[in-house]
């Protein structure tokens, strides 16, 4: 008589930190944490850096080059040479991140800081992509969703911790210590990776690199970043249009190319995988409008910089809270959570059109409380869906293209943040922030910004509903 298989216990989030899972979780979560927190630390420190060593005209490039390099790093995981295992990629990523941090720490001029940020970005792109690539090698499938939830929550926590840590090092030349303290951490992780992480799969054949798609993708990021920093509206519009053309050209080449950047079917809307990636991209585009929330809180609502920073941190709290609250959902309920999350994000973003875009010099609590709830809701909506989207990618991607699928998650993350931030700059600067400026200009800019940036969330909602129908 055949013995019945044992009934496995339900997986818990704490299982990620028990037994053989502990060190891989610390390593993979640590890599994502370094990238996420450093992103916000640098955003806080850049004003101090340019005050100390100059280079205000190159201010935006500290983010632009970092994002562009992280896209290259993430793509390398998918097209790495034969024989290069995943844990060797992790060693390279941690080492590059440490070297880049060291370059930034000793930089005498802004151009050297930008070089360091580029090297950092390459390492960060590798580390974040490997966090997702390793999930299927480190954990049983029952823990995939839990691991995705943990890594999603890290981004939410980073939004709070990054500016707080950066604020500690924001005086004088203390910003150098903020970079220097990352060097030993990164190098220790590089040394531990071969001992604490499995090899992953080796490449027995060299995958051809999709150079044309990579070039067009990077061009689109750089063009839209330029658009956010130029002063004339026609030039901004032209740069955004060129970035859009580059994206469409990349998609057209990807559909016909033998050397592909994305998994099969990821550029055709008829494919479920393509819609999952597009939902990810749109959710982060909408979320990027948060970069102007502190400015409007201070300029329209009389809130101090410190208080505005903590109010925006509620967005991170919302993301983290939702990620943990919905971690136990699976199957159709997980897809419902994605759909509801996109709608919550869209409604919360649109609500700021009324709640944030108004003159409240007396800091009326009756006005600020609803605005705070909407800020929390933006993060909560993303948190409801992100981990489930990651899990769907890992399950839906073809078995021989899991690395491409994991790399594409990081690519969508970087593109969504980069495009969203740059487009937010284009909208705000074109609708009154610079001219006429002042209270009237701020109200106009905030109204346009949050009205328009609710649209990506609504499109994501429609795509999520289509996932429900397909399932």
**Which DSSP state fits 139?**
S
Calpha distance 104→279 (Å, rounded)? 35
97-108 residue pLDDT tens: 999 999 999 999
Select from 337, 336, 328, 448 the least CA-distant residue to 384.
Answer: 337
* Higher-pLDDT residue of 9, 78: 78
The answer to whether residues 55 and 111 touch, using CB atoms and an 8 Å cutoff, is: yes
Q: Which residues contact 469 (CB under 8 A, 6 or more apart)?
A: none
E strand map for 250-336: none
Instruction: Output the pLDDT for position 309.
Output: 65
Place 305 in a pLDDT band, splitting at 50, 70 and 90.
Answer: low
* Higher-pLDDT residue of 451, 438: 451
- End-to-end alpha-carbon separation of the chain, Å? 37
Top CATH class of 15-205 equals mainly alpha
Read off φ and ψ for residue 173, nearest 5 degrees: -95, 15
* Higher-pLDDT residue of 5, 374: 374
Crossing angle of helices 365-396 and 402-430, in 10° steps, is 150
SS3 433: coil
Place 1 in a pLDDT band, splitting at 50, 70 and 90.
Answer: very low
Residue 204 clears pLDDT 70, i.e. is over it:
no
What percent of the chain stands above pLDDT 90?
Answer: 31
Question: Hey, what CATH topology would domain 262-471 get?
Answer: Growth Hormone; Chain: A; (1.20.1250)
Say how far residue 461 (Cα) sits from the centre of its chain: 19
Instruction: Output the pLDDT for position 351.
Output: 96
Phi-psi sector, 200: left (phi>0), alpha (psi -120 to 50), beta = left
Most confident region among 155-164, 317-326, 381-390 by mean pLDDT: 381-390
Place 10 in a pLDDT band, splitting at 50, 70 and 90.
Answer: low
25-84 residue pLDDT tens: 888 888 888 887 887 788 778 778 888 898 876 766 787 788 778 888 888 887 777 677
Count of beta carbons in the 10 Å neighbourhood of residue 21: 18
Instruction: Output the pLDDT for position 456.
Output: 96
Instruction: Output the pLDDT for position 173.
Output: 78
Residue 210 clears pLDDT 50, i.e. is over it:
yes
Instruction: Output the pLDDT for position 335.
Output: 94
Residue 345 clears pLDDT 90, i.e. is over it:
yes
Select from 208, 236, 167, 244 the least CA-distant residue to 81.
Answer: 208
Instruction: Output the pLDDT for position 98.
Output: 95
Read off φ and ψ for residue 433, nearest 5 degrees: -60, -40
Average pLDDT, the chain: 84
Mean pLDDT to the nearest integer, 208-215: 82
Q: Locate tokens 């060299």: which residue?
A: 206
Rg for the chain, CA atoms, rounded:
22
**Which DSSP state fits 268?**
-
Instruction: Output the pLDDT for position 11.
Output: 64
The answer to whether residues 84 and 203 touch, using CB atoms and an 8 Å cutoff, is: yes
Residue 8 clears pLDDT 70, i.e. is over it:
no
Instruction: Output the pLDDT for position 401.
Output: 79
Q: Per mean pLDDT, which range of 198-202, 282-286, 371-375, 454-458 is the poorest?
A: 198-202
The answer to whether residues 375 and 293 touch, using CB atoms and an 8 Å cutoff, is: yes
Calpha distance 299→409 (Å, rounded)? 36
241-293 residue pLDDT tens: 898 899 899 989 988 888 888 888 788 888 888 999 999 999 999 998 887 88
Most confident region among 42-51, 120-129, 257-266, 343-352 by mean pLDDT: 343-352
Mean pLDDT to the nearest integer, 173-182: 89
Q: Which residues contact 267 (CB under 8 A, 6 or more apart)?
A: 251, 254, 255, 274
**CA quadruple 396, 398, 399, 404: dihedral positive or negative?**
negative
């Amino acid at each position: 008589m055949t013995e019945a298989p044992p009934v496995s216990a339900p997986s818990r989030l704490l299982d990620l930190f028990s037994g053989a899972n502990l060190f891989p979780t610390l390593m993979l979560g640590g890599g994502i944490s370094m990238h996420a927190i450093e992103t916000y630390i640098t955003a806080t420190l850049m004003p101090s850096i340019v005050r100390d060593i100059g280079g205000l005209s190159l201010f935006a490039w500290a983010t632009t080059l970092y994002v562009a390099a992280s896209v290259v790093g993430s793509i390398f995981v998918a097209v790495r040479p034969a024989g290069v295992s995943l844990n060797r990629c992790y060693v390279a990523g941690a080492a590059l991140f440490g070297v880049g941090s060291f370059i930034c720490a000793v930089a005498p001029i802004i151009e050297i800081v930008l070089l360091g940020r580029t090297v950092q970005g390459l390492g960060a792109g590798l580390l974040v992509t490997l966090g997702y690539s390793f999930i299927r090698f480190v954990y049983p499938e029952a823990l995939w969703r839990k691991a995705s939830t943990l890594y999603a929550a890290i981004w939410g926590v980073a939004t709070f911790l990054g500016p707080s840590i950066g604020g500690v090092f924001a005086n004088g030349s203390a910003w150098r210590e903020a970079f220097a303290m990352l060097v030993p951490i990164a190098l220790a992780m590089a040394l531990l990776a071969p001992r604490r992480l499995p090899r992953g799969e080796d490449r027995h054949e060299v995958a051809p690199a999709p150079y044309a798609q990579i070039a067009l993708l990077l061009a689109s990021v750089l063009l839209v970043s330029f658009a956010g920093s130029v002063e004339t509206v026609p030039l901004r519009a032209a740069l955004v249009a060129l970035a859009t053309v580059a994206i469409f050209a990349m998609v057209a080449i990807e559909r016909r190319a033998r050397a592909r950047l994305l998994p099969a079917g990821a550029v055709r809307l008829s494919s479920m995988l393509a819609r999952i990636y597009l939902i990810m991209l749109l959710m982060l585009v909408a979320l990027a409008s948060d970069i102007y929330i502190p400015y409007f809180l201070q300029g329209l609502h009389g809130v101090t910089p410190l208080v505005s920073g903590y109010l925006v941190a509620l967005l991170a709290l919302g993301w983290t809270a939702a990620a943990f609250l919905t971690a136990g959902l699976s199957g159709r309920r997980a897809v419902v959570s994605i759909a509801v999350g996109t709608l919550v994000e869209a409604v919360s973003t649109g609500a700021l059109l009324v709640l944030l875009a108004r003159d409240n010099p007396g800091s009326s609590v009756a006005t600020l409380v609803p605005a705070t709830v909407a800020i929390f809701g933006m993060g909560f909506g993303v948190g409801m869906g992100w981990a489930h989207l990651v899990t769907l990618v890992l399950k839906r991607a073809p078995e021989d293209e899991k690395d491409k699928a994991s790399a594409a998650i990081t690519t969508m993350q970087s593109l969504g943040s980069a495009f969203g931030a740059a487009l937010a700059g284009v909208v705000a600067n074109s609708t009154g922030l610079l001219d006429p400026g002042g209270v009237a200009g701020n109200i106009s800019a905030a109204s346009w910004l949050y009205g328009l940036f609710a649209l990506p969330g609504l499109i994501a909602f429609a795509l999520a509903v289509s996932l429900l129908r397909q399932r």
